[in-house]
Structure 1
Amino acid sequence: MFIEFLLTSLVVVLLPGTGVIYTLSVGLDKGFNASVAAAIGCTLGIIPAAVASIVGLAALLHTSALAFQVIKFLGVAYLFYMAWKILRDDRAMDVSESRIQTGSVRIATTGILLNVLNPKLSLFFLAFLPQFISPTTSDPTASLIGLAAVFMAMTFVVFLIYGAFAAYARDYVIRRPSVMKWIKRCFAGTFGFLGAKLAVSN
């Protein structure tokens, strides 16, 4: 059952969601060290969802339309803000040899918010983790915590790989400014699409 959990988790983590897009954009913009901060932030942002599912708070989001809608539209607004920031801020993802440094704490905080303001993450854990708990286990809470920790560790490692790939591609992009222009539009469009997708979710 644990092998099934690892394989399923790997597929989920590899899918290009909000955290992946953010880590890629940071790695491409500011290099590998900054992408590490982004990966840490996105991983830490999983903790509230994991805790919520374990203690049952995610059930509130599932049964209370108001609670879900409030968190959902905060997440939608933040994703749209990210898309707008990339398009409108001339310094956003302005790749050059001389990097404009952004604090690691600020990068990590943005990653945390992207996951915290996504109510679907809590519902995902509520539906996902219990499937891999044995009915005969004596301490299901400890098992849930263990699975959540493994999922977070896997998320961090995969996001590091994504960030390293983006940082490696950075040198290629520096030599081709027109490529960066289209990449900015793609990232902005992806954040906008994720926001729209979250907005129509029930």
Structure 2
Amino acid sequence: MIPIEVLTGFFTVTVLLALVPGPDNIFVLTQSAVSGRMAGLAVTLGLCTGLIFHTTAVALGVSAIFQASELAFTLVKALGVGYLLYLAWGAFRAKPLPLKQGNAGQSSLLPLYRRGVIMNITNPKIAIFFLSFFPQFIDPAHGPLVPQFLQLGAVFICSTILVFGSVAFAAGSIGDRLSKSITAQKVMNRIASVVFVGMALKLAAATR
């Protein structure tokens, strides 16, 4: 069991990392502004589900494959880039919603959740980040390593939900006002498209 003071320090660091502007929190922000706070929360939960995958992979040592194999890293990266470009094209072509349906309905939350999951899982940089970051807070003297990895993963997910959820609520409040304007919806969709393209380019340029 990891000591509480270590977990507290880890939580503080992960909150600060989540606050740093990056592809994931910008994605949550734009989706919340475009489709409302519930859409942002759905994406956040999707991203955190992906974090469960990465945490498990790191705990079992699978992520070491991405660090050791250029081919595996490149294949997963190519899938991620392709998916982001697909989302960019979809956002660019999206038509403004009727004014009474500015926010994402219940039926549209599942695709947003799934989008967050896929985006997170197809980013090999996250797996490698976990592999290099988590061991700094793990000590064999505290017991078996796998449970420690899982503990840190749970804390990381909690901090992500806290920060990204706050971003979703804040951006969603702005989006609720903007969604009443057809022109604003068009602009937000174009912005979302640009964000996706930027994320794809950043991922494409990523190296191990």
Structures share a fold, TM > 0.5? yes
Structure 2 contact 32–171 (Cα < 8 Å) conserved:
yes
**Partner letter of residue 71 of structure 1?**
V
Q: Provide the rounded CA distance (Å) in 2 between the counterparts of 1:97 and 1:19.
A: 28
Q: Provide the rounded CA distance (Å) in 2 between the counterparts of 1:13 and 1:50.
A: 16
**Corresponding position of 1:109:** 114
How many residues end up aligned between the 2 structures? 200
Structure 2 contact 95–186 (Cα < 8 Å) conserved:
no
Q: Equivalent residues in 2 for 1:1-202 (5 A)?
A: 1-91=6-96, 94=97, 96-99=99-102, 101=105, 102-202=107-207
Q: Provide the rounded CA distance (Å) in 2 between the counterparts of 1:7 and 1:37.
A: 24
Q: Cα–Cα, structure 1 residues 164 and 95, in superposed 2: closer, same or farther, change >3 Å?
A: farther
3-state secondary structure, aligned to 1:90 = coil
Q: Cα–Cα, structure 1 residues 5 and 74, in superposed 2: closer, same or farther, change >3 Å?
A: same
Deviates more, 1:115-124 or 1:157-166: 157-166
Per-residue CA shift, 1:114-147, capped at 9, x if unaligned? 1011011100100111111134222222111101
Q: Provide the rounded CA distance (Å) in 1 between the counterparts of 2:98 and 2:174.
A: 11
**Partner letter of residue 59 of structure 2?**
I
Give the TM-score of the pair, scaled to structure 2. 0.86
Q: Provide the rounded CA distance (Å) in 2 between the counterparts of 1:41 and 1:140.
A: 26
**Partner letter of residue 121 of structure 1?**
I
Structure 1 contact 32–167 (Cα < 8 Å) conserved:
yes
Give the TM-score of the pair, scaled to structure 1. 0.89
Structure 2 contact 34–179 (Cα < 8 Å) conserved:
no
**Corresponding position of 2:3:** none
Q: Provide the rounded CA distance (Å) in 1 between the counterparts of 2:150 and 2:180.
A: 46
Deviates more, 1:31-40 or 1:140-149: 31-40
**Partner letter of residue 165 of structure 1?**
A
**Partner letter of residue 191 of structure 2?**
C
Could you list the runs of 5+ residues in structure 2 that have no partner in the other structure?
Answer: 1-5
**Partner letter of residue 194 of structure 2?**
G
Q: Provide the rounded CA distance (Å) in 1 between the counterparts of 2:79 and 2:115.
A: 14
Q: Provide the rounded CA distance (Å) in 1 between the counterparts of 2:187 and 2:111.
A: 25
Q: Provide the rounded CA distance (Å) in 2 between the counterparts of 1:66 and 1:21.
A: 29
Structure 1 contact 79–191 (Cα < 8 Å) conserved:
yes
Q: Provide the rounded CA distance (Å) in 1 between the counterparts of 2:186 and 2:122.
A: 28
